[in-house]
Amino acid sequence: MRKVRPGPLRKGDVIAVVAPGGPVDQGKLTRGLARLSAAGFVPETAEGLLRREGYLAGDDGHRAAQMEWALTLPEGRAVMAARGGYGTTRLLPLLDWGKAAARPKLLIGYSDITAVLAYVSTRLGLAAIHGPMVADLARQPDRRSLDAFIRLVGGQVTPREPWGLSCERLRGGAAEGLLTGGCLSVLTALLGTPYEPDFRGALLFLEDVGEPAYRIDRMLTQWVQSGRLRKIAGIVAAKITPVRSETEEEIRKVFASAGKRLSVPVWYGFPAGHTDPNYALPFGVRARIDARGRLFLLESPVAAT
């Protein structure tokens, strides 16, 4: 598979902002846009970004049109989701992702946006950024992770720099593979569809929110039984907030058990996804986690200039 790399994203560059999933709160959006602008980027919002139809930010046609606009905006260098929620999987059949890969822009987001990121990073060779979303920047105030994001999309991270924070070993040791993954429940909603990611050779990052341990277990069990994780290099789980009455220890146990069934290394606690700090992770690039739990990005998600 040919690796597709967009150019670096720098101060002064236009970021197209879209809502492919749930409806966006105006106040949070405004604060997030201000923060992006303060960081030097030029956010441009899609028409009708604040539309609301139940749990969706407008109907499928409206959300697909936003995405189409963002993917083809001549001056746009990147596409960032305003927020997650639900709705991105509904758009997958409505857009020509192959065409998007031909004129690559950095796709940026997490949670529901995982549906696109995992698909394009494993099936189309496109680098994508599991990272901040505009309206979430208000509740993810950590300055270090925003700075790190800016350096990552600017192409300034080297393979010698430990990325984010160190993880805790749950099973096995070092692992190296194609970094991809995302929100477990969103990834699981792609299983059996034409948009199912190809995880062979993956260093699989997994995170989630609001899921009791038994559901994380059920989803991991589904992936294990599907045979689709037979050739992964290892699992890097995020730091996941337990639902009330449960402990993080129960979540660790579930991931360790999946790793045992798969005979792969499992690491826990990377600060990305529904957490603060939310360190950006480049999907579709090779990465390595060493025996001390330090993650190294072996490639850049953007082309050298």
Cis peptide before 197 (omega within 30 of 0): no
For position 226 contacting a second copy by CB under 8 A, the verdict is yes
Region from 2-10, 130-138, 223-231, 285-293 binding a second copy, contact rule CB under 8 A: 223-231
- Provide Rg for the chain, Cα atoms: 18
Considering the rule CB under 8 A, would residue 199 count as an interface residue with a second copy?
Answer: no
Site for a second copy in 243-272 (CB under 8 A): 250, 253
Beta-carbon-side half-sphere exposure of residue 292 (alpha carbons within 13 Å): 6
- Side-chain-side CA neighbours of 106 within 13 Å: the count stands at 31
Backbone angles phi, psi at 248, to 5 degrees: -65, -25
106/116 with CB nearer a second copy: 116
92 touches a second copy by CB under 8 A: yes
Q: Which of residues 202-221 bind a second copy (CB under 8 A)?
A: 212-215, 217-219, 221
Out of 195, 199, 255, 267, name the contact with a second copy by CB under 8 A.
Answer: 195
Q: For the purposes of burial, counting CB atoms within 10 Å of the CB of 248, is it exposed (0-12), middle (13-18) or buried (19 or more)?
A: middle
- Could you confirm whether 62 is annotated as catalytic? no
Q: Among residues 101 and 213, whose Cβ is nearest to a second copy?
A: 213
| Residues 217, 259 contacting (CB under 8 angstroms) | no
**Closest CB 221 distance from a second copy, rounded Å:** 6
Pair 278, 131: CB distance under 8 Å: yes
Beta-bridge mates of residue 130 = 109, 281
Give the residue, chosen from 192, 276, 291, 292, that forms a contact with a second copy under the rule CB under 8 A.
192
User: Minimum distance between the CB of residue 63 and a second copy, rounded to whole angstroms?
Assistant: 13
Least Cβ distance, residue 198 to a second copy (angstroms): 13
Name the packing angle between helices 213-226 and 248-262 (round to 10°). 10
Longest CA–CA separation in the chain, Å: 51
Nearest distance from C-beta of residue 77 to a second copy, angstroms = 31
Q: Is 111 a catalytic residue?
A: yes
Q: Is 27 in the site for a second copy (CB under 8 A)?
A: no
Hey, what amino acid is at 219?
M
For residue 184, the minimal CB distance to a second copy (Å) is 12
Please list, in sequence order, all residues whose beta carbon lies within 8 angstroms of the beta carbon of residue 23, skipping any fewer than 6 positions away: 50, 51, 52, 53, 55, 56, 57, 85
Cα 75 to Cα 14, 105, 174, 205: the distances in Å are 6, 11, 41, 32
148: three-class secondary structure by DSSP = helix
Q: Closer to a second copy at the Cβ: 44 or 198?
A: 198
User: Is there binding between residue 12 and a second copy (CB under 8 A)?
Assistant: no
Nearer to a second copy, 87 or 109 (CB): 87
Cα–Cα dist 223/180, whole Å: 15
User: Taking CB under 8 A as the rule, which mask of x and - marks residues 43-62 in contact with a second copy?
Assistant: -----------xx-------
Q: Would you say 63 or 105 has its CB closer to a second copy?
A: 63
> Could you confirm whether 44 is annotated as catalytic?
no
Q: Nearer Cβ to a second copy, position 9 or 213? A: 213
Q: Of these residues, 145, 185, 274, 300, which one is catalytic?
A: 274
Where in the sequence numbering do the catalytic residues fall? Answer: 111, 207, 274
Binding-site ranges for a second copy (CB under 8 A): 22, 54-55, 85-87, 89-90, 92-93, 189-196, 212-215, 217-219, 221-222, 225-226, 228, 250, 253
